[in-house]
Amino acid sequence: MSPFFKIKTYLNYWLDAVDEHSLHAPFLFDFYTNTIRRETGELFTVENLRKKLLKDNRTIEITDYGRGSTHIENNQRKISHIAEKSLTPAKYASLYHRIILARKPKTIIELGTSFGINTLYLAQNPGSTVYTFEGADSIADIAELSFEFAEASNIEVIRGNIDHTLYSTLTRIQKVDLAFMDANHRLEPTLRYFELLLTKTHHKSLIIADDIHDSPEMEQAWKQMKNHPLVYVSMDLFRCGIMLLDPSLNKQHVVLRF
């Protein structure tokens, strides 16, 4: 991806982004001020794991099932390099943690485990189960060690190609309360996973899509997802997009400063 694309997309975001003073809908105002912009600390144990991964110079072999991103370029990679390029920044992981605490979802789907740092933030509601999907066994191995170290017992790692594992896993799940999409960064697979997830969502479900401005394909995927008939409110935070499926909310798309 060219630097010009990154600059252009961020400039467009910066020009369009608003804060609470432009939010007139009570739900959006409350969600923005009390969840998105609320100041909370990072998780000490999880961030210590992040630091260790960023310093780990061991090399592992990975399997790329078509991520469609420049994050991972070949099969032999240093753990530290993968961590630097692929881990969700603490600022956003903390946001997802706040969303978990505010909405208390029981069943959480995460497409794209990486080393499990973001997964651990999603798993902070003791009454929830997080189903996290990872295609590369070597990465899943490290993630499971992280979960064991953090004593997180409410996480189930689903290994293999998400093209196959997502459908089979959803058949044994009654409903999905929250989904986090950070797997294949191409248009067609992203939209296909989105449609599959919608078969198990309900009107109180929330879907988060990561890297929505990472490439022209992801921008197109984000545009189509936020305009889906079942999406009533969408929020663009530049790195991620948040979608709400509640028909009691007025149809609205907002670009928010974060």
**Extents of the domains making up the chain:** 3-55+88-255
pLDDT of residue 97: 97
pLDDT of residue 66: 52
Q: How far apart are CA 258 and CA 239, in angstroms?
A: 10
Q: How far is CA 215 from CA 5, 7, 17, 34, 90, in A?
A: 8, 12, 19, 31, 22
pLDDT digit string, tens, across residues 111-137: 999 999 999 999 999 899 999 999 999
pLDDT digit string, tens, across residues 49-80: 999 999 999 999 987 665 544 444 568 899 99
pLDDT of residue 72: 47
Q: What is the mean pLDDT of residues 207-236?
A: 97
pLDDT of residue 68: 42
β-bridge mates for residue 110, sequence order: 132, 180
Q: Which of 36-40, 163-167, 170-174, 219-223 has the lowest mean pLDDT?
A: 36-40
Give the CATH architecture of domain 3-55+88-255. 3-Layer(aba) Sandwich (3.40)
Give the residue from 43, 32, 209, 205 showing the smallest Cα distance to 124: 43
Q: Does residue 158 contact residue 169 with C-beta atoms inside 8 Å?
A: yes
pLDDT of residue 6: 87
pLDDT of residue 39: 83
Is pLDDT of 216 > 60? yes
Confidence of residue 17 (pLDDT cuts 50, 70, 90): very high
Confidence of residue 206 (pLDDT cuts 50, 70, 90): very high
Q: Does residue 100 contact residue 125 with C-beta atoms inside 8 Å?
A: yes
129-146: burial string, b at 16+ Cβ within 10 Å, e else = bbbbbbbbebbbebbbeb
pLDDT of residue 71: 47
Give the residue from 152, 174, 153, 170 showing the smallest Cα distance to 162: 170
Beta-carbon contacts of residue 39 (< 8 Å; ≥ 6 apart): none
pLDDT of residue 65: 60
Q: How far apart are CA 36 and CA 178, in angstroms?
A: 16
pTM value?
0.93
pLDDT of residue 1: 61
The helix/strand count (H/E) of the chain reads as 10, 10
